[in-house]
Structure 1
Amino acid sequence: MGYYKNFKSKLLALLLLLFISVIAVLNLLSADRSFSESENRMLEQLPHFSLKALLSGDFTADFEKYVSDQFVFRDFWMGAKTDMDRMMGKKESNGIYIGKDGYLIQNFIPPAEKDLEEKVDAIHAFDHATPGLDKYVMLAPTAAAIYQDKLPKYTIIGDQEAYLKKVKQWMYPNLRFIDVFPSLYAARDQPIYYKTDHHWTTKGAYIAYLELCRQMGLTPQKEEEFNIQQVTDEFYGSLYSKSGFRHVQSDRLELYLPKDQEKYTVTYVDEEKTTDSLYAMEQLQRKDKYAVFLNGNHARIHIKTANPSGRKLLVVKDSYANSLITFLLKHFSEIHVVDLRYYEEDLASFVHEQGIQDMLLLYNANTFFEDPSIKNVTE
C-alpha cells in the first residue's frame, strides 16, 4: 500500500515536471506575436536589456509583461480562467461586469476634479480662439449609465450621469451642450448598445443624431429613408476582448444606408487615400468589426458631399462619432473629422484656414473623463 502511494506521488510529480518542461520548450520555440486578435491590442515585445534598466527595475517589470503577453496558448488559459471564475459566481473581470441579458458592461470610475476642470478649461480656451465658430458638445453616456439595472446585484459604480451634468454646468452658455441621456434612456428597450462592445449601435447613434438635429436646427432624416442592412451577426467587441469572458452571444452590426444616396468622397489625409464610401467592408472579416465605420480611427478625415450649401462642419471626436457621421452627409457640404489622440496640428488655425462654421465635439463619457487628449484642443 505504501509502495503504491509512493509510486503515485512520484508519477504525479513526474507528470507535473513533464508538463512544465513541455510548456517551457514551447515558449522558447514559439514565435512572438505582435497583436492579439482576441484581446484586440498590441502585445508586449522583448525589452532591450541594459544595466541601467536592470538596476532601475524597468527591465524586470517589462520582461514580466513580455512573458505574460507571449505565454504559449495565452488565449486558452485566459478563457479557462474566466470560465472557472464564472463557475465560482464571479461577475467581474478587468473592470467589466457580466450582466443580465448577456450584456458586458464596463465600470465607470469617477474622474479627478482637477483633471476635469483642466479639460473644460481647454475647451473654453479653444472657444476664445475661435469666436466665429458655432460649437456643440455631445458627451454620450455609456451602457453603465443607461443599463444600471442589468448590472449584477450589489454592484457599485460611479454616477456617470452626475458627472455629465457637472460638465454641462461648467460649460460656457454659448457652448451648446447636447444632452442625449434622456433620449437614450427612453429608448433603452431597443438595441442601442452592443452587448460585447463599448460603443453604441448604429440605432443608438441615430437616436443621438435626432437630438443633434433638434439643437442645430436641422431637419433630420427619417429611419424610413435608410436601408438598414445587417452586415454581420458575429461581432465580438472590445469588452469581450478586455474581459476574457467567453460563451456570450455575439452582436449584430447594422449599417444605415441612405435610399437616395448621393455621391461623396472620403479622404484620409495623412494616409493620402481617397474612397467613395464611409465603410471599410473588409474590416468585417477581422476581429475589430466596428472599424467598418470610417476604417477605424485616423488623425484627420475630409468628407466632401453633394450638398451645395457651402456649410462646413468640424467633428472633434472619439470612435463613437464614426457610426454617427453617416447621418450628417445630407446637412453639410464638407465635414472635417479630427481625432485629437493622433492629430498634432493647431486646431484653431485649421478652423480659420478652412472657413469652418460649425463644430461638434463628440466623445463617449469614458473617453472624455479618462483620455487626456482633449487638452490638446488648444495646442
Structure 2
Amino acid sequence: MGYYKNFKSKVLALLLILFISVIAILNLLAADRSFSESENRMLEQLPHFSLKTLVSGDFTADFEKYVSDQFVFRDFWIGAKTDTDRLMGKKMSNGVYLGTNGYLIQDVISPAEEDLKEKIEAIHAFDQATPYMQKYVMLAPTAAALYQDKLPKYAVIGDQEAYLNKVKQWLHPNIRFIDVFPSLYAERDQPIFYQTDHHWTTQGAYVAYLELCRQMGLTPQNEEEFNIQQVTDEFYGSLYSKSGFRHVQPDRLELHLPKDQERYTVTYVDEEKTADSLYAMEQLQRKDKYAVFLNGNHARIHIKTANPNGRKLLVVKDSYANSLIPFLLKHFSEIDVVDLRYYEEDLASFANDQGIQNMLLLYNANTFFEDPSIKNVTE
C-alpha cells in the first residue's frame, strides 16, 4: 500500500514539474504582445535594465508586471480564475462587482479630501484666468451610485453622491454645477448605462443633455427629431475586459442620428486629420466599440458646425462626453474638445485667444476623483 502511495506521489510530482517546464518553455518561445483585445489595454513590455533601476527596485517591479502581462495563455487563465471565483460565490473581481442578471458594476472611488480640494482650486484658478467665459461643471454619477439594488448582497461602496455634493458646495457660485443625479435616477429603469461597460449609453447621455440645456438656457432637441439606430448588439465593454467575468450578455450600442442632418467638419488637431462625421463606424469592428464616438479620445478636437450663431463652446472632458457632444452641434457654431490626459498646451491662453464664451467640464465621478489630469487645466 505504501509503495503505491509513494509511486502516486512521484507521478504527480513529475507531472507538475513537466507542466511547469512546458509553461516556462512556451513563455520563452512566445512573442510578446503589445495589446490585449480581451482586456482592451496596452500590455507591459520588457523593461530596460540598468544598475540604477535595479538598485532603485524599478526594474524588479516593472519586470514583474511584464511577466504577468506576457504570461502565455494569459486570457485563458484570467477567465478560468474568474469562473472558479464565480462558482465559489465570489462577486467581485478587480474592482468590478457581478450584479444581478450579469450586470457588471464598477466600484465607487472615494477621493482623498485634500486631493479633491486641489482639483477644485485648479478649476478656480482657470476661472480667474478666463473671466469672460461662463463655466459649467457636470460630474456624472456612475452605475454603482444609481443601481445599488443590483449590487451583490453585503457589497460596500462609497457614497458618491455625498462627494458630488461636496464639489457642488466648494465651487464658486459663478461656476454652475449641473447636477444630473436626479435626472438619471428618475430614468434608472431605462437602459441609461451599459451592462458590461462603465459609460452611460446614448440614452443616458441624452438625459444629461436635457439637464444641460435647462441649465444653459438652450432649447433641447426632442427625441422624435432623431433616428435611433442600433449599430451593434455585440458590445463587450471595459468592465467585461477589466473584471474577467465571462458568460454575460453583450450590450447593444445605439446612435441618435438627427433626421435633418447638417454638414459639419471634425478636425483631429494633433493628428492633422479631418472627418465629416462624429462617428467612426469602423470602430464597431474592433473590441472597443465605444470608440465609435469621436473615434476615441484625443488631445484636442475642433468641430465646425453649420450653426451661424457664433457661439463657441469648450468641452474639457473624459470619455463620458464623447456620446453627449453630438447632441450639442445644433446649439453652437464651434466646439473645441480637450482631453487633459493628452493635452499639453496652455488651455487658458487658448480659450482667451479663441474668444470662447462657454466651457463645459464633463467627467464621470470616478475619473474626476481618481485621475490627476484635471489639475493640468491651469498649466
Query: Same fold judged by TM-score > 0.5?
Result: yes
Within-5 A mapping of 1:1-379: 1-379=1-379
Shift of 1:6: 3.1
> Residue 59 of structure 1: CA displacement?
1.7
Cα shift at 1:3: 3.7
Q: In 2, Cα distance between the equivalents of 1:283 and 1:139?
A: 26
Q: How far 1:62 moved relative to its partner?
A: 1.5
CA–CA distance in 2 between the matches of 1:53 and 1:299? 31
**1:253-300 deviation digits (Å, cap 9, x = unpaired):** 111100000000100000000000001111111111100000000000
- Matched residue type, 1:307: N
Shift of 1:38: 0.8
**3-state SS, counterpart of residue 330 of structure 2:** helix
**Deviation sequence 1:142-173 (CA, Å, 0-9, x none):** 00111111111111111000000110011111
CA distance in 2, matches of 1:331, 1:349: 24
State the 1:10 CA deviation: 2.3
Deviation at 1:2, TM superposition (A): 3.8
Question: What is the Cα deviation at residue 49 of structure 1?
Answer: 1.5
Give me the whole-angstrom Cα distance separating, in 1, the residues matched to 2:250 and 2:191: 13
Q: SS at the partner of 1:214?
A: helix
- 2: CA distance, partners of 1:48 / 1:187: 51
The amino acid of 1:153's aligned partner reads: K
Q: Give 5+ residue unaligned stretches, structure 2.
A: none
Offset of residue 344 of structure 1: 0.9
My pick for the range that moved more, 215-224 or 101-110, is 101-110
Structure 1 unaligned regions, length at least 5: none
SS of equivalent to 1:267: strand
Structure 1 residue 57 displacement after superposition: 2.2
Distance in 1 (alpha carbons) for counterparts of 2:155 and 2:288:
29
One-letter code of the match for 1:150?
Answer: K
> How far apart are 1:51 and its partner, in Å?
2.1
Q: Hey, what's the Cα distance between the residues in 2 that align with 1:352 and 1:61?
A: 44
- Using the TM superposition, name which of 96-105 and 136-145 deviates more: 96-105
- Structure-2 separation of matches of 1:376 and 1:361: 13
Identity %, equivalent residues = 87
In 1, the alpha carbon distance for the partners of 2:112 and 2:67 equals 33
Provide, for residues 312-349 of structure 1, a one-character-per-residue CA deviation record: whole Å limited to 9, x for no partner. 11101100000000000001111010111111111111
Moved more, 98-107 or 173-182: 98-107
Tell me the distance in 2 between the aligned counterparts of 1:138 and 1:294: 19
Counterparts of 1:132 and 1:161, CA distance in 2? 31
C-alpha displacement of 1:95: 0.9
> In 1, distance between residues paired with 2:332 and 2:108?
35
The letter of the residue matching 2:12 is L
Query: Structure 2: how far apart are the matches of 1:9 and 1:130?
Result: 75
Q: Give me the TM-score of the superposition, normalised by structure 1.
A: 0.98
SS in 2 for 1:252: strand
CA distance in 2, matches of 1:137, 1:55: 45
Q: Which moved more, 1:297-306 or 1:127-136?
A: 127-136
Deviation at 1:110, TM superposition (A): 1.3
Cα deviation, residue 54, structure 1: 2.0
Give the secondary-structure state (helix, strand or coil) at the position aligned to 1:49. Answer: coil
> What secondary structure, in the 3-state scheme, does the structure 1 residue paired with 2:117 have?
helix
Question: What is the RMSD computed on CA atoms of the aligned residues?
Answer: 1.0
Q: Distance in 1 between matches of 2:58 and 2:123?
A: 36
1:90-130 Cα distance to aligned partner (Å, 9 max, x none)? 00111111111221111113111111111111111111111
Q: Which amino acid aligns with 2:327?
A: F
Query: Any idea what SS the aligned residue of 2:234 has?
Result: strand
1:51-74 Cα distance to aligned partner (Å, 9 max, x none): 222222222221111111100000
Question: Using the alignment, how far apart are the partners of 2:348 and 2:62 within structure 1?
Answer: 39
The letter for the 1-side match of 2:200 is W
The 2-side partners of 1:51 and 1:333 are apart by 56
For structure 1, which segment, 184-193 or 236-245, has the greater mean C-alpha deviation from structure 2 after superposition? 236-245
CA shift, 1:11, in A, is 2.1
